[in-house]
Amino acid sequence: MELILNILGAIATIVLAFTVGMSYGGIVRKITARVHNRMGPPWYQNFIDAFKLAGKTTAINHGIMQHFGPAFIMVSSIVSLMIVPVLNGGGWFENLNFGGDLIFLLYIMVFGPLGMALGAGQTGNPNSAIGITRGLSQMVGFEIPWVMALVALMVQFDTTSIVDIMRIQNESGTWMMFSSPFAFIAAVMAMLGMFRYSPFDIVGAPTELASGPVSENGGKYLLTMMSSGSIFAFVKLTLYVDLFMGGADNLIILVLKTFALYMIPVLYGIVSPRYRTEQSIRFFWGWPTFFGLLAILYAVFV
Amino acid sequence: MVGSPVLLIAIPLLAAFLIPLIGMIWKESVRLIPGLVLAFMLVSSASMLLYVTNNSTIIETIAGWQAPWGINLVFSPLTGFLATLMIFLGFIVWLFSYRFKRNVDFEPAKKYFIFLMMLVAGAVGIVITGDIFNQFVFIEITSISAYALTAFYTGRNSAEASFKYLLMGSLSSSALLIAIAIIYSQLGTLNMADIADKMYLMPTGYKITALIFFFMGIGIEAEIFPLNGWAPDAYTEAPGPIGAAFAGIVVKAGVYAMIRLVFTLFDIPNSMQFLVVIGLVTLIVAETSAIKQDKLKRMLAYSSIGQMGLVFVAFGIGTAEGVFAALFLMLNHAIIKPLLFLSGSYLVFNSKEKKISEVNGLGKHMPITSLLFALGAFAIVGLPPFSGFWSKLSVLTAAANEGMILIIALVLIVSVVEIVYYFRVVNRIYFFEKSDNVVVQKPRINAMIAMLILGSIILVIGFDPDIVSIYLHKASHDLMNTREYIDNVLSIGQSLTK
Amino acid sequence: MEMIYLILVLFLGGAVLTWLLGKISPIIRDILFISSVIIPTVLFFMNVEVGHDVSFQVLGYKLSWGISYLAYLFSYIVLGLGSLASVYAVAAMKGKKNLGFFYSNFILSIMSMMGILLSRDLISFFIFWEIMTWSSYLMVVFRGKDVQKVGIKYFVFSAIGAYAMLMAIVIVNSLTNSLLISDLVSSFGSFSLSMKWLIPLLLLIGFAVKSAMMPLHVWAPGAYSNSPMAFTSMFSGALSKMGVYGMIIVMVSLVSYIPNGFWLKETIAWLGGITAVGGTLWAVAQDDAKKLLAYSSVAQLGYIIVGIGIGTPLAMLSALFMAVMHAIFKGNLFLVVGAIERQTGTSNLTEVSGLIRKMPWTFISALFSIIALAGIPPLGGFVGKWMLYESLIGSNHYLLVIVVFFSSTAAFLYSYKFLFGFFLGQEEKEWSHIKEAPAMMVVPMMILAVATFVLGTFPGLVLNPIDNGLQELGFASTQGRYWEMSALFNEWGNQVMLQPLVYAIIAVFLFFAAFLTIKGFKHTRYVTTKDISSSGEVPKEHENLTFSQNFFQPFLRAVEPFMKRRIDTYYSGIGNGLEAIFDFTRRIYTGNGQTYALYAVIFIVVLLMFKNALFGL
Amino acid sequence: MINDKNSQKIVDILQNWARKHSLFVLAYGTGCGAIEIPPTMTSRYDAERFGIRGAATPRQADVLLITGYLTTKTLKRVIRVYEQMQDPKYVIGFGSCTINGGMYYDSYNTIKVLDKYLPVDVYINGCMPRPESVISGIVKLQSLIAEGKANGAAKYKENLDWYRANQKKIIPNWVMPEYNW
């Protein structure tokens, strides 16, 4: 019985994440359009796209890994969703986040890119492989400040559990973004790379690489990747909210907080051109890493 | 116990004179007699060694003249051990050189074996004599036969090498004579035990001067650093087995003479440090020179010099352990280096230049010889489980027990250099392509047996070093215990006079 | 006869017999080879018990053989990987020349590793260590390529390490008058301060060389990539672990007792971290799979060294667990490269591509190993990584954890390069004839792949023997505190329950794999990798569109400043300088008799002049 | 499934509605018409409000927009791209050149009537058509999709032999994978 409830809870979480993530995607398109002084598509455009993709035939494949690649990505996003606490105090959305260990999360989060890389690799499209190498390189770039920020948090509170960090924030009443500002800055700068909006959209790079890793994937593959991306966006935003903004007591607050946070990469991206890969990597090893170092020093000495 | 010490010297000398005579009747005897003689000597010497290990030292007086006045032969655990080793090597060299290259012809073979006999006789004489002038005579016998053997190939280079050896050898003789003269003028005796007994009477200045002249005289034979210029040339130009004999017999005799002086005759404490320093310098210079050689035998010659340096270092440690290690090292070197020379001489058999590059790829064409060379190389650089490891370990342990950490470090660093040049050759043998103009010479059966004997000794000692350690312990005890040596030798004389 | 003797004798006899009788017929040779690895292995696990020592005397040194819990753990690696690799080797090396030589060296190196683990005294440790060195050296030069460069480099570094160790051994002998490791440990506290530093340092140099620690790692890439892959699997998987084994003993039993030994530990840990980063960056830059894996081995050993350097119980657990895991996955990856090299004739990542459909089993085992290597859950590599990070954070090594994390993130780059280069990408006509490797090669690889999975879910299987070993070294029991059969805890009590995670991962994966494939199999058809969207162009058969040159060029451009300086060049500079000096000393021997006579005269004159200084009484 | 009107009416309506509002356009910029695509997509005319989005590869695209004349050389590529697209898929012929050759009516090197080679769902007339016309064409396509009448792909499949024959007349050395979905 408990197991069934757990599974239902998990499904509810997934549906929530999917909905929120997809809506955010549409809203971002809308906002981008407004910034460009356009009308833009409706906010639910992504749902339409998803539904359409589900209805497209998938007549060809390039081998088994092309099937498995998107599945790997889904594993990554859904399992990380299971780990990250959605709300303070759990409830329906308390899935596998017993302790919600950060290091496990870090690793399961990179599972997806690697799986996607395998799927993209088998298609044999050179653009896919180029996109993958760019993506992995960029990941090495932004993981450094991101991990530094996380280490700073772990050090500060002697825990690697997200739930603990949330609890501590609630007990002390201050959000982490104020009590350890440098970690927040480093993490947010890393977030720019994580969301792959301009100027860090070097992986997809539509005009350059013909959408990169997904260039051979249409229909269901694209749908899976899209939904995975939406869920993953939700996971990342929720994680940031949990870590730096004290989590959320109910869904509305969660949506508000995540949305506010989401605007940072989106708005930064709208007005930016694209970096070259090595520029992007060097960007992350510049100021963000410096802030990360500051964060660690701050955590150790303050 | 078979035979007596005097026979060990007399028989080979006699054989040396008889070889040409009998050779006139039956040509093959030129080759066979030395073998028989050496075999007999080996049996005799080995049985005496067994005897002295378990009982007391054998001391034989010549022609009834008693100890301080007459010449006596001392077959102690130390000298017996060295004599046996030399005779064994002489036998191996004979076995190997039976019908080796030009010795196939009658005339050269006659010379070759005459001088080989004289060489063995002289070297054994150096070791077992108890009289310092007698030792000088034996050194001369050994040297002269060595000069002759160096020039055996009668080419331009051989003659040059031989001449260099002669030049240095004559310096050596003069120095020795001066040293002996100083001692005789001061102490009025030539018997080693007697000299050792009376050494405290000698004024320090004379003592040191005599020692220095001895150092020079014997140092030339024992290949210590600035005096060993002759060695690389002689080793290179002499026939392969003679190189083995030099490394295994002549040099060992020189080392013996040196340590007998330092340990027994003279009581100058600093001479030990001198041995260590000169040994280290020899070791380092020789090993570093070896790495840049392009001729195989020359490389082996430098390696041989280096090993002698290490032996001196080990003796210089001055403890029983050090002596044990040094003797062990001498034993191993006397087994391994001949193996390297013998197998090496087949590896570059048909080559004029004897270049290292000419051994390329021979591993496929002469598998056993190559394997034995590799075995020798592995053993001499001290890789376990081969015999060289144990002696190196003994040296290091002895040095460590005396706190000579810097020396350990230096020895080990030099060992790395040694590894480099030996492994370069082994790599060439096995992993390079043979060039077409190298003609492979399959070893003869007798040569193969000789090498296999040496190879199996390496393995046996490697797996069970305790087989030889009892003799080595006895020998080191014998060397360290000067008083016992003096008493042993002199008591015979006294008991006879009474 | 004592079982330990019997095992070693069987190995040795097997080596000799395989060589000699192998000349008669290849079948006898193969059977002898496999049986002389398997039989002692079985005997060992059936009969040898911890704590039963045998001792004997050689040259007055007391030698003692037996097995400890820690060594027992490592013997799993050696014998387990050894048996699998030997089965693999028979198939992989079929038809090569000099196989008797290869096999007997193979057995000898297994014997020597077991000897190291069985040694309870320093001399037999050293003897087996050297046998291991030269037998592996002979393997490195086995293929006859780059012998003078790679082989000599390997041996020189090994010799430097081994002789440093030998120096420590003889000093220990002089200090304690005993060579037993237990005596060294028990009397270490009474040594003088300088000896307390010197002995562990010398021993560590020896072990650091074998475990390829910066800056003594330069031999590793060449040696690993130069030996036959069936052996490299052992080389990287098991042989390098001997360095780890020694290092653990030294760090725990000796360095802990040095006053201020803390700093040595820190240095070692940082060197490990630098090794990890350097190895990873260079691995990313390689185009040859062997070189790539070789550098990757260096990097992975770096993590292990970090763990040992930190030295907390959790760190030790992680180091040992990673040692086991590294043996499994890196051993497996080298086997994979061997299989590919055997089938295609090259191991260059830029030449081969698209083998996934040709060699599916090889791909699966490579995939598992790579996922384990990258440390991605749910495979075993993650457990070690997790423990390492937790121990680093828990012991206040905040910068080191960043360094290690950077290295392990960058490891994804070469991991992907490896998989992509061989298995993914365009299927070229050139490789269309390639078949899957024979079953004898695939089965060992699959066993290792399954092992990575099992250990990812139930790390307790290995953590239990590790715990025994650590308790023997004086740590408190860690079971329940840091780990359960399938759960991990950190210093602060945070936990990772592996089973639910693994089940979740499997469930989600199966669901989406089914979603994507079940209908797909009916309705989709396979199209070749030439059928791709390339601006409407139809690539011709011979047109190779695979992207494999300069694979990570942007990344390498970004890290260029770090990679400009190579330690290698410094070493070769030193080497060249030394050779020049040696060339100078060689000139002392001019070949001129007059010079030599002059030397003699100078010698005696100098001695006579300074005789009082030299021998003054 | 697309024209299976008897059984799955509601699903069809839903799907067609989604398709209508989510058109991923692969603009094949063969001729001068390509210059009209950027204004269509960007701020002034903003085609995205109809759910139109550029697709980078044929695998993801729904609509193939052929902007202008096709030379005999590019025809092969266009056919290839079309065949790589997944069902459902639509073709928009853009400009006069695709209808009757336009100003290239007597060129030796261009094809005149696109419909002989690919099943065109909607033509946009003009030389060149302004973005308004483009949007109008797309809206027309949308309404056709909603009615279920944009069945060019099915037509292509049915009359593959005829299309192939036409195509092979233009392209002498025909090396192309089989089209069988």
Tokens of B53: 């290990």
Say whether D148 sits in a helix, a strand or coil: coil
Q: Please answer whether residues A274 and A202 qualify as being in contact, where contact means their C-beta atoms are separated by less than 8 angstroms.
A: yes
pLDDT in tens, B29-76: 888 888 888 899 999 998 988 888 888 888 887 766 666 677 888 888
Residue B436: which region, alpha, beta or left (left: phi > 0; alpha: psi -120 to 50)?
Answer: alpha
Those residues with Cβ within 8 angstroms of residue A3's Cβ, 6 or more apart along the chain or in another chain? none
Amino acid at B370: S
Tokens of A185: 């800055």
3-state secondary structure A200-214: CCCCCCHHHHCCHHH
Instruction: Name the DSSP class of B131.
Output: B
Q: What DSSP string runs through D88-145?
A: S-EEEEESHHHHH-GGGTT-SSEES-GGGTS--SEEE-SSSPPHHHHHHHHHHHHHHH
Distances from the Cα of C294 to the Cαs of A229, A272, C219, D81, in angstroms?
35, 41, 10, 43
Chain position carrying tokens 């009308």: A39
Q: Please answer whether residues A215 and D59 qualify as being in contact, where contact means their C-beta atoms are separated by less than 8 angstroms.
A: yes
Residues of B in contact with C590 (CB under 8 A): 229
Tokens of B394: 């003994």
Chain position carrying tokens 């007699």: B33
User: CB-based contact (8 Å) between C474 and chain B?
Assistant: no
Q: In whole angstroms, give the CA distance from residue B36 to residue B15.
A: 10
pLDDT of residue C515: 80
pTM of the model: 0.91
Instruction: Name the DSSP class of B439.
Output: P
Say whether C525 sits in a helix, a strand or coil: strand
Closest by Cα among C503, C504, C486 to C495 = C486
Those residues with Cβ within 8 angstroms of residue B207's Cβ, 6 or more apart along the chain or in another chain? B199, B266, B268
* Partner residue opposite A126 with nearest CB, options C423, C505, C547: C547
Q: Please answer whether residues B302 and B310 qualify as being in contact, where contact means their C-beta atoms are separated by less than 8 angstroms.
A: no
pLDDT in tens, B283-328: 998 888 888 888 888 889 999 999 989 999 998 888 888 899 999 9
Contact C617 B427 (CB under 8 A): no
Residues of A in contact with C424 (CB under 8 A): 65, 118, 121-122, 124, 129
Task: Decide if pLDDT at D6 tops 60.
Answer: no
Question: Is residue C285 within a helix (H) or strand (E), and if so which, with residue range?
Answer: helix C261-285
Q: In whole angstroms, give the CA distance from residue A106 to residue A151.
A: 12
Sheet holding D122-124, edge to edge: D52-54, D23-28, D63-67, D90-94, D122-124
Q: In whole angstroms, give the CA distance from residue C550 to residue C246.
A: 39
Q: In whole angstroms, give the CA distance from residue A94 to residue A98.
A: 8
Contact A37 D15 (CB under 8 A): no
Rounded to the nearest 5°, which phi and psi values hold at C172? -60, -45
> What average pLDDT does the segment A77-98 reach?
76
User: CB-based contact (8 Å) between D48 and chain A?
Assistant: yes
Closest by Cα among C602, C593, C582 to B226 = C602
Rounded to the nearest 5°, which phi and psi values hold at C259? -65, 130
Q: In whole angstroms, give the CA distance from residue B37 to residue B54.
A: 26
Confidence of residue B87 (pLDDT cuts 50, 70, 90): very high
Chain position carrying tokens 């195989």: B296
Q: Is the bond preceding residue C215 a cis peptide, omega within 30 degrees?
A: yes
Task: Decide if pLDDT at D4 tops 60.
Answer: no
pLDDT of residue D144: 87
Domains belonging to chain D, first-starting first, are: 9-170 (3.40.50.12280)
Q: In whole angstroms, give the CA distance from residue B393 to residue B325.
A: 8
Question: Is C266 exposed, middle or buried (CB count within 10 Å of its CB: 0-12, 13-18, 19+)?
Answer: middle
Task: Decide if pLDDT at B497 tops 50.
Answer: no
Q: 10-residue block means of pLDDT along chain C (617 residues)?
A: 82 87 83 87 85 83 86 88 88 82 87 89 89 87 78 87 89 86 84 86 88 85 85 87 88 84 86 89 88 90 89 87 90 90 86 84 90 85 86 85 88 88 82 84 90 87 87 82 79 78 84 77 72 76 79 84 80 86 83 84 86 72
Partners of D122 in the beta sheet? D92
Residues of A in contact with C533 (CB under 8 A): 125, 210, 215-216
* Partner residue opposite C401 with nearest CB, options A71, A151, A285: A151
Partners of C489 in the beta sheet? C495
Confidence of residue D8 (pLDDT cuts 50, 70, 90): low
Share of chain B above pLDDT 70, in %: 96
Confidence of residue B101 (pLDDT cuts 50, 70, 90): low
Say whether C322 sits in a helix, a strand or coil: helix
For β-strands D70-71 and D110-111, DSSP reports them as antiparallel
Q: In whole angstroms, give the CA distance from residue D76 to residue D169.
A: 11
Alpha-carbon dihedral C265, C269, C270, C274, rounded to 10 degrees? 150
Shortest Cα–Cα distance, C367 to chain D (Å): 27
Q: In whole angstroms, give the CA distance from residue B25 to residue D13.
A: 125
Say whether C482 sits in a helix, a strand or coil: coil
Instruction: Name the DSSP class of A95.
Output: S
Closest by Cα among C297, C501, C537, C271 to C404 = C271
pLDDT in tens, B362-412: 888 888 888 899 999 989 988 888 888 888 888 888 888 888 888 888 888
Nearest CA in chain C to D27: C535
Confidence of residue D1 (pLDDT cuts 50, 70, 90): very low
Domain-by-domain residue ranges, chain A?
A: 2-301
Task: Compute CA C193 distance to the chain's CA centroid, rounded to the nearest angstrom.
Answer: 33
Strands (E), chain A: 60-61
Contact C599 B226 (CB under 8 A): yes
Q: In whole angstroms, give the CA distance from residue A174 to residue B288.
A: 71
Contact D46 A33 (CB under 8 A): yes
pLDDT of residue B52: 86
Q: Is the bond preceding residue A273 a cis peptide, omega within 30 degrees?
A: no
pLDDT of residue B137: 92
Tokens of C271: 């060197």
pLDDT of residue D45: 86
Q: Please answer whether residues B90 and B125 qualify as being in contact, where contact means their C-beta atoms are separated by less than 8 angstroms.
A: no
Contact A210 D43 (CB under 8 A): no
Tokens of B144: 């002269």
pLDDT in tens, B426-450: 888 888 888 887 788 888 888 889 8
Tokens of C457: 């879910």
Do A and B touch, 3+ Cβ pairs within 8 Å? The answer is: no
Residues of B in contact with C126 (CB under 8 A): 384
Q: In whole angstroms, give the CA distance from residue C253 to residue C268.
A: 15
pLDDT of residue C389: 87
Confidence of residue B496 (pLDDT cuts 50, 70, 90): very low
Q: Please answer whether residues A133 and C552 qualify as being in contact, where contact means their C-beta atoms are separated by less than 8 angstroms.
A: yes
pLDDT of residue C44: 86
pLDDT of residue C616: 66
pLDDT of residue B498: 40
Q: What DSSP string runs through B236-249?
A: HHS-HHHHHHIIII
User: CB-based contact (8 Å) between B459 and chain C?
Assistant: no
Neighbours of D, requiring at least 3 CB pairs below 8 Å, are A, C
The number of beta carbons lying within 10 Å of the beta carbon of residue C493 is 13
Query: Looking at the predicted complex, does its ipTM rise above 0.90?
Result: no
Task: Compute CA A268 distance to the chain's CA centroid, rounded to the nearest angstrom.
Answer: 16
Q: In whole angstroms, give the CA distance from residue C7 to residue A182.
A: 61
Q: Please answer whether residues C173 and C181 qualify as being in contact, where contact means their C-beta atoms are separated by less than 8 angstroms.
A: no
Q: Please answer whether residues C154 and C135 qualify as being in contact, where contact means their C-beta atoms are separated by less than 8 angstroms.
A: no
User: CB-based contact (8 Å) between B176 and chain C?
Assistant: no
